[in-house]
Amino acid sequence: MNFGDLAHEARIAAQSLLDAAAGTLDPTLRLGVTGLSRAGKTVFLTALVNALTQGGRLPAFRAYGQGRIAGARLAPQPDDAVPRFEVETHLRALTGADRHWPESTRRISELRVVVDFESRSGFLSRQRPGRRLTLDIVDYPGEWLLDLALLSQDFRTWSQKTLQASDGPTRAPLAAEWRAHLATLDPTAREDETAARQAAALFRAYLIAGRGERVALSTLPPGRFLMPGDLDGSPALTFAPLDLPAEGEAPTGSLWAMMERRYESYRNHVVKPFFRDHFARLDRQVVLVDALAALNAGPEAVADLEVALTDVLAAFRHGRNSWLTSLFRPKVDRLLFAATKADHLHHTSHDRLEAILRRLVGRAIKNAEFDGAAVDVVALAAVRATREATARQGRDDLPVIVGVPEAGERSGGQVFDGQEEIAVFPGDLPEDPETALSAGGYRGRAVSDDGGDIRFVKFRPPRLAPERGVTQLPHIRLDRTLEFLLGDALL
Ligand code: GDP
């Protein structure tokens, strides 16, 4: 080999080293999006992907504000076995001629977005090549996350806890039918498929009622009873708690033994694989919370939300002694709790909503003895459906929000046609978060003549005017959210 060849070889080796270094420097993140049903996951993820690929008004998202994002595009996802998050369909729903909210999350799904950007130092010196963030986003029902609590409870403990909870003042009327059926069952009697199916159906009906708008409870495991995903109609969900004696074993061939076996199989074949295969691989997580719904439903819903937040934090707990580490070790280093639908409030209350959630999360952090990941809180609207105005009432100028209620929504004896705009005084959140939490208090003056609560009229998504084929969605604080979740990977 002559000197020229050697130099050439050396150049190639140096280049491949540089390429390898650039490759290892290119960040990859796996972001989880979760929250209980109707919290706003589908809308949030659609808006987030749209902001990355189409841009928007995003001053607090620094890489974008500094002009360092060269572009972002969808790419084939890495996991063939997980359904794709159909962002195009959802976006069409939001922005089409007959604009409407997209279909909600009912199972796990995934999407890969590749973001080309210039690092801050490269951008300043104009020397470094462009870099690439590979972002894998996983959307999954928050109900599944709350199943973590089941892994530390055997069938007897779970039955006892579930029965006890169903005695609470809000839950008891919802649970009455299931409890009446339960009272007819003898756990030691012979196993009976019909009884098991009926118990499971009545128990499930109770859990579903607990998610109703006026009740808005959060902690109602097992999660698949509410969000079955692929298990809809499967025998894996044909079990329910039983009223068991404090001691003793299930007799062979009894209803008790049958329910216990199915509960164990749910834990082993449904709950554990989810945590091992999906949850444990996440680097970042956003937990969406419909805090306004809980505040509006009253103190029991708020207390229940706090328990749910504690359970969520327990799942992300980093402590080395956690018994969970034998099953999986969570590696999430940034965890964001987001109160959604802030566009139902005037901007003067956005900070207050954030303060309320901060207080709730703070208490949950203490309860769960959580430490490790950086935790932040935001009040946001992924898609802002309202604008602000002032309305004169007597001598007062009232801050109002203006939007188009969905067709068929009712208030004040009026049925809306889905076209006409209305102005709503949304009521103020209390300045002191403690007042809001103790009184369950979000009770403004916005109750209509027929007693209907017009603050909770559902608005249609905003009417948009795409410019040159680009659709940017209005939002509240989505840019801050992006900065917290992705900002450090785009430096
Ligand atoms: P998911 O069950 O968590 O996927 O919830 P979705 O994303 O489907 O949202 C449930 C409903 O909440 C939607 O149909 C909308 O009515 C409402 N919603 C969600 N996000 C927003 C938002 O940013 N603004 C407003 N006004 N409504 C929202």
Residue 464 maps to a domain: no
**What is the reported pLDDT for 446?**
40
Ligand 1 proximity of 104 Cβ (cutoff 6 Å): yes
Pair 267, 303 in one domain: no
| For ligand 1, mutation pick of 44, 100, 105, 341 (most atoms within 8 Å of CB) | 341
DSSP, collapsed to helix, strand or coil, labels residue 376 as strand
Beta-bridge mates of residue 114: 73, 134
Best mutation site among 33, 34, 41, 43 for ligand 1 pocket (most ligand atoms within 8 Å of CB): 43
From the CA of 232, how far away is ligand 1's center (Å)?
23
- Count of domains for the chain: 3
Q: Quick one: which of 199, 194, 151, 192 has its CA closest to 175?
A: 199
Ligand 1 centre and the CA of 38: distance in Å? Answer: 6
Ligand 1 contact via 36 beta carbon (within 6 Å): no
**How remote is the C-alpha of 87 from its chain's centroid?**
16
| Phi and psi based region of residue 451 (left: phi greater than 0; alpha: psi -120 to 50; beta: remaining) | left
- Ligand 1 atom nearest the C-alpha of 103 is 8
Helices 155-165 & 255-266 angle (0-180, nearest 10): 90
Nearest atom (ligand 1) to Cα of 476: 23
Residue whose Cα lies nearest atom 14 of ligand 1: it is 101
Quick one: 377 and 391 in the same domain?
no
Whole-number pLDDT of residue 445? 38
In a domain, 301, yes or no: yes
- Ligand 1 atom closest to 383 (CA): 23
Does 326 share its domain with 393?
A: no
Q: Write out pLDDT tens, residues 127-174.
A: 667 899 999 999 999 999 999 889 989 999 999 999 999 999 999 999
Which residue from 36, 48, 101 has its CB within 8 A of the most atoms of ligand 1, so it is best to mutate? 101
Strand, helix or coil for residue 435: helix
The pLDDT tens digits along the chain (491 residues) read 454 555 545 554 554 455 445 445 789 999 999 999 999 999 999 999 999 999 999 999 999 999 999 999 999 999 999 999 999 999 999 999 999 999 999 999 999 999 999 988 766 666 667 899 999 999 999 999 999 889 989 999 999 999 999 999 999 999 999 999 999 999 999 999 999 999 999 999 999 999 887 888 888 899 999 999 989 878 889 999 999 999 999 999 999 999 999 999 999 999 999 998 999 899 999 999 999 888 888 888 888 999 999 988 888 875 554 556 656 667 899 999 999 999 999 998 999 999 999 999 999 988 888 887 899 999 999 999 999 999 888 888 888 999 999 998 887 778 899 999 998 888 778 888 888 887 645 554 343 444 445 556 789 999 987 777 778 999 999 999 999 999 999 99
192 and 294 part of one domain: no
With CA atoms as reference, report the closest residue to 424 among 405, 450, 396, 451: 405
- pLDDT, residue 452, reads 46
Q: Which of 273, 301, 335 is the last residue of a domain?
A: 273
Ligand 1: does its nearest atom lie under 6 Å from the Cβ of 119?
A: no
DSSP string over 153-167: --HHHHHHHHHHHTT
Interface ipTM: 1.00
As a residue count, the chain comes to 491
Q: Which atom of ligand 1 is nearest to the CA of 381?
A: 23
Instruction: Choose one of 33, 37, 38 to mutate for the ligand 1 pocket test, by most ligand atoms within 8 angstroms of C-beta.
Output: 38
* Shortest-distance Cα residue to atom 20 of ligand 1: 40
Check whether residue 373 and residue 417 sit in a common domain. Answer: no
CB of 382 shorter than 6 A to ligand 1: yes
Nearest-angstrom CA–CA distance, 357 and 334: 17
On whether both 103 and 223 belong to a single domain, the answer is no
> Is 7 within the bounds of a domain?
no
Q: Are residues 219 and 261 in the same domain?
A: yes
CA of 45 to the centre of ligand 1 (A): 11
Provide the pLDDT for residue 125.
64
Last residue of a domain, one of 227, 242, 273: 273
- 169: helix, strand or coil: coil
Q: Whose Cα sits closest to atom 11 in ligand 1?
A: 38
263 shares a domain with 175: yes
User: Residue 465: its pLDDT value, please?
Assistant: 78
Task: Output the residue whose Cα is nearest ligand 1's atom 19.
Answer: 40
448 within ligand 1 shell (Cβ under 6 A): no
Instruction: State the distance from the centre of ligand 1 to the C-alpha of 447, rounded, in angstroms.
Output: 22
Q: Within this chain, do residues 135 and 170 fall inside the same structural domain, yes or no? A: no
Are residue 403 and residue 348 in the same domain, yes or no?
no
Residue nearest atom 21 of ligand 1, based on CA coordinates: 341
Q: Whose CA is nearest to atom 10 of ligand 1?
A: 38
Distance in angstroms (rounded) separating the CA atoms of residues 213 and 269: 31
Query: 17 C-alpha to center of ligand 1: Å?
Result: 47
Domain annotation covers residue 5: no
Range of the domain at 251: 147-273
Listed residue (198, 200, 220) closest to 208, CA to CA? 220
Is the minimum distance from the CB of 109 to ligand 1 under 6 angstroms? no
Bridge partners (DSSP) listed for residue 378: 338
The CATH number that applies at residue 62 is 3.40.50.300
The pLDDT value recorded for residue 248 is 95
Task: State in Å: Cα 37 to ligand 1 middle.
Answer: 9
Q: Is residue 371 part of a domain?
A: yes
- Nearest-CA residue for atom 18 of ligand 1: 40
Ligand 1 atom nearest residue 458's Cα: 16
Per-residue CA distances from 387 to 96, 290, 293, 309 (Å): 20, 20, 20, 31
In a domain, 2, yes or no: no
Same-domain pairing of 263 and 300: no
Ligand 1 lined by 477 (C-beta under 6 Å): no
Q: CA-based angle 176:142:51, to the nearest 5?
A: 140
